Amino acid sequence: MIFVVCSFVLYCYSRWGYIKKTRQLSASLRESEREFEAIFENNPVSCWLEDFSAVKKYFDELKEAGISEIEAYFQEHPKAIAKCARIIKIEKVNQATLDLHNAENKEILFEGLEKTFTPQSYEVFQKEMVDIWNGTFYRPWDCEKL
């Protein structure tokens, strides 16, 4: 009987420690999220949070269809670049982005990248898509606002 009681007490004590640690981690995560949100929203540089998962799926389909040279494919199928821009989901933009594009609200920009692109934007975007195809996920590209 004493063993059962001791085991139960140890179990309760260990569960209490686990719950306490979980609550501390949750509070820390919430604080990090608030800090990220403040940095993102108050950044004077245009920031976009975008979901490229549809582009990944599209690229996988192209690879399954035997496409191996994406640059050549884009040259032969120029509408494929527009499709890539169209299927990227814009999750979030900051105030600097609204100011840059003279947008009244974020929902206008959530309609898609195509709404903000100039011909030069498509040139830079094509380079970005080629990089993503080739597994390069960071390269600074510059595009002037026209």
The pLDDT of residue 93: 95
The pLDDT of residue 146: 42
Q: Which residue matches tokens 């609204």? A: 98
The pLDDT of residue 11: 53
Q: Look up the pTM and report it.
A: 0.72
The pLDDT of residue 75: 94
How far apart, in whole angstroms, are the C-alpha atoms of residue 144 and residue 64? 36
Q: How buried is 26 (Cβ within 10 angstroms: 0-12 exposed, 13-18 middle, 19+ buried)?
A: exposed
Residues composing the chain: 146
Which residues in the chain land under pLDDT 70? 1-19, 139-146
CA nearest neighbour of 51 among 99, 9, 86: 86
